């Protein structure tokens, strides 16, 4: 299969920081019963032929006809194992995105899956579902938040089976968006149509960039967190959240799997310097000062800050849709223990 169109749009969207952060998002292409999908832990912006894992579509889709255990860990282990069995000969050393099966459900030749902050302003909002219907009518399918992996694939299959017409766009609550199209041009049309519609709703633009000097807590944070790398952000939007515990409330819980992967499940609000004597989070909102993102490596701290900025943007965008809505704690706990995401974090450090 000639993967050049796939490589082209993977790089194009992967290089756009408004659309892709860290290792997020994935893409695929199908032809004659075969599908090439992005490997887990690779970056779209650096896509080359080797980034993609060749899979047998029939074998992959066959997973949804099998019986799976009810127990989370057993089910997800079997799911990853069975997805791996659908790899084409010669692809043994690669690991396909855990979302590969979702790509296979789309009948279209190309699939683009992203987690952009602007889109997640809608998917992580209180009125997400009704606003999705108001803005996009029947042209976009809304899938409520659920456990990723096998459970999401099963729910998506039911959605596709029940639809009378071909589905081109799916919004996943607290997660992101899928676009399917038969041409690269149509992918752009779908994506831009959605971004334009959402931009028109936005009340206020987030301002999350900061070159402010760290106010002098860095050494203490290193000592009490055990994390050697500390990034600081005192952008206008960060300062708004840092004003009080009430103002910080919307960013105290994760919105999507990416944040759990790169920031961990907890955010600490520090009222004063003494509150830094015990730190059990990678993100610290320091009252009146700004927000810290920590990591064991510079890359980890940078990724953590990238996702903190993403969370701030989501909250600001979600104001247009009834305010932000974090993930359910049950879902957060599931993702924390999910081997698939530990793997993604381990290879993108
Ligand atoms: Zn995703």
Contact at 8 Å (CB) between 25 and 126?
Answer: no
Q: From CA 48, how far away is CA 50, in angstroms rounded? A: 5
pLDDT over 50 (residue 349): no
Contact at 8 Å (CB) between 95 and 40?
Answer: yes
What was the pLDDT predicted at 153?
96
Average pLDDT over residues 91-111: 96
Distance 174 CA to ligand 1 centre (A): 10
What was the pLDDT predicted at 345?
57
pLDDT over 70 (residue 348): no
Distance 175 CA to ligand 1 centre (A): 6
- The region of weakest confidence among 97-101, 135-139, 341-345 is 341-345
What was the pLDDT predicted at 339?
66
Band of pLDDT at residue 23, cut at 50, 70 and 90: confident
What was the pLDDT predicted at 22?
83
pLDDT over 60 (residue 343): no
What was the pLDDT predicted at 41?
83
What was the pLDDT predicted at 346?
59
Q: Where are the alpha helices (DSSP H) in the chain?
A: 4-14, 57-62, 72-85, 100-105, 117-123, 128-136, 150-162, 184-201, 218-225, 236-242, 245-248, 257-263, 298-318, 329-336, 339-348
Distance 224 CA to ligand 1 centre (A): 33
pLDDT over 60 (residue 120): yes
Q: What is the DSSP string of 109-148?
A: SEEEEE--HHHHHHHTBTTHHHHHHHHHGGGSEEE----T
User: Within the chain, which residue ranges are assigned CATH 3.40.225.10?
Assistant: 4-201, 218-348
Distance 99 CA to ligand 1 centre (A): 7
Distance 241 CA to ligand 1 centre (A): 26
Write down the mean pLDDT value for the chain.
94
pLDDT over 50 (residue 17): yes
Distance 238 CA to ligand 1 centre (A): 26
Distance 98 CA to ligand 1 centre (A): 9
Residue of 300, 267, 273, 298 whose CA lies nearest to 285:
267
pLDDT over 70 (residue 232): yes
Angle at 45 between CA 100 and CA 251, to 5 degrees: 80
Residue 88's φ and ψ, nearest 5 degrees, are -75, 155
Fold for domain 218-348?
A: L-fuculose-1-phosphate Aldolase (3.40.225)
Contact at 8 Å (CB) between 70 and 35?
Answer: no
Distance 270 CA to ligand 1 centre (A): 31
The model's pTM: 0.94
Q: From CA 29, how far away is CA 21, in angstroms rounded? A: 22
For the segment 141-194, what is each residue's pLDDT rounded down to a tens digit? 999 999 999 999 999 999 999 998 899 999 999 999 999 999 999 999 999 999
Band of pLDDT at residue 24, cut at 50, 70 and 90: confident
- Which residues neighbour ligand 1 (ion) by CB within 5 Å? 176
Residue of 229, 230, 241 whose CA lies nearest to 286:
241
pLDDT over 90 (residue 257): no
Residue 227 burial class via C-beta count within 10 angstroms: exposed 0-12, middle 13-18, buried 19 and up: buried
For the segment 47-86, what is each residue's pLDDT rounded down to a tens digit? 999 999 999 999 999 999 999 999 998 999 999 999 999 9
Task: Please give the helix or strand (H or E) that residue 53 lies within, else none.
Answer: strand 52-56
Instruction: Residue 75: count other Cβ atoms within 10 Å of its Cβ.
Output: 16
Band of pLDDT at residue 336, cut at 50, 70 and 90: confident
pLDDT over 80 (residue 285): yes
Question: What's the CATH superfamily of 4-201?
Answer: Class II aldolase/adducin N-terminal domain (3.40.225.10)
């Amino acid at each position: 299969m000639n993967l050049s169109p796939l490589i082209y749009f993977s790089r194009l969207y992967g290089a756009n920081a408004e659309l892709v952060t860290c290792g997020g998002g994935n893409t695929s292409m199908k032809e004659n019963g075969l599908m090439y999908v992005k490997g887990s832990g690779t970056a779209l912006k650096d896509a080359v032929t080797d980034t993609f894992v060749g899979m047998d579509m029939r074998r992959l889709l066959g997973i949804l006809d099998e019986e799976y255990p009810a127990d989370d860990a057993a089910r997800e282990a079997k799911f990853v194992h069975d997805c791996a069995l659908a790899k084409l000969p010669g692809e043994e050393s690669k690991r396909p995105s855990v979302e590969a099966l979702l790509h296979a459900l789309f009948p279209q030749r190309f699939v683009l899956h992203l987690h952009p902050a602007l889109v997640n302003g809608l998917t992580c909002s209180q009125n997400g579902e009704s606003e999705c219907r108001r803005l996009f009518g029947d042209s976009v399918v809304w899938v409520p938040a659920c456990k990723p992996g096998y459970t999401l694939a099963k729910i998506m299959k039911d959605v596709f089976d029940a639809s009378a017409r071909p589905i081109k766009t799916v919004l996943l609550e607290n997660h992101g968006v899928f676009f399917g199209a038969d041409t690269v041009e149509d992918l752009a049309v779908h994506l831009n149509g959605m971004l334009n519609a959402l931009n028109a709703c936005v009340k206020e633009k987030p301002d999350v960039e900061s070159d402010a000097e760290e106010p002098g807590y860095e050494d203490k944070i290193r000592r009490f967190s055990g994390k050697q790398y500390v990034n600081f952000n005192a952008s206008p939007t960060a300062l708004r959240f840092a004003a009080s515990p009430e103002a910080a409330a919307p960013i105290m819980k994760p919105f999507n799997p990416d944040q759990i992967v790169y920031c961990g499940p907890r955010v600490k609000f520090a009222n004063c310097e003494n509150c830094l004597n015990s730190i059990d989070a990678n993100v610290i909102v320091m009252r009146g000062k700004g927000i810290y993102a920590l990591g064991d490596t510079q890359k980890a701290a940078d990724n953590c800050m990238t996702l903190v900025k993403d969370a701030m943007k989501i909250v600001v965008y979600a104001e247009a849709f009834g305010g932000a809505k974090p993930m359910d704690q049950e879902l957060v706990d599931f993702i924390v223990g999910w081997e698939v995401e530990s793997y993604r974090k381990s290879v993108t450090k």
